[in-house]
């Protein structure tokens, strides 16, 4: 079945530093990668949609200069949280979508970011 590998699973960083999260589709080509954020006991909120080879589309209220998304290939998308602040601490999840419906929009395992 389709697998999306997400790394790192946990990261702790200092305020002001940047953190990169990677998502790789291992056995399918993710022409589209979705990036979500989940706060404790809340739903998954879509942050942005990235399409291979083009600029990402950000949801309202998401700062594109803070959350840099790169989707340089059909199997790799990255999210970089720049100049991280404690309020950026959250659970970030990617999903490879746009392919066969049988994949059911496969999700990565998530990244727990803690900014101290």
Q: How far apart are CA 38 and CA 71, in angstroms?
A: 21
Nearest CA to 21 out of 102, 112, 115 is that of 112
Q: Which of residues 82-101 bind another protein (CB under 8 A)?
A: 91, 93, 95, 97-98, 101
* Site mask for another protein (CB under 8 A), range 31-50, x = bound: -x-x-x-----xxxxx--x-
φ, ψ of residue 76 to 5 degrees: the values are: -140, 130
Part of the chain binding another protein (CB under 8 A), chosen from 12-20, 29-37, 70-78, 79-87:
29-37
Q: How far apart are CA 71 and CA 57, in angstroms?
A: 12
Interface residue list for another protein (CB under 8 A) = 4, 6, 9, 32, 34, 36, 42-46, 49, 57, 91, 93, 95, 97-98, 101, 103-110, 112
């Amino acid at each position: 079945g389709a697998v999306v590998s997400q790394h790192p699973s946990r990261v702790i960083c200092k305020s002001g530093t940047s953190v990169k999260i990677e998502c790789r589709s291992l056995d399918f080509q993710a022409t589209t990668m979705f990036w979500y954020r989940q706060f404790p006991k809340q739903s998954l909120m879509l942050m942005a949609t990235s399409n291979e080879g083009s600029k990402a589309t950000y949801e309202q209220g998401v700062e594109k200069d803070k959350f840099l998304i790169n989707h340089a290939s059909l199997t790799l998308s990255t999210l970089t949280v720049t100049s991280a602040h404690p309020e950026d601490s959250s659970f970030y999840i990617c999903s490879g979508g746009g392919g066969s419906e049988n994949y059911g929009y496969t999700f990565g395992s998530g990244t727990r970011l803690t900014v101290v």
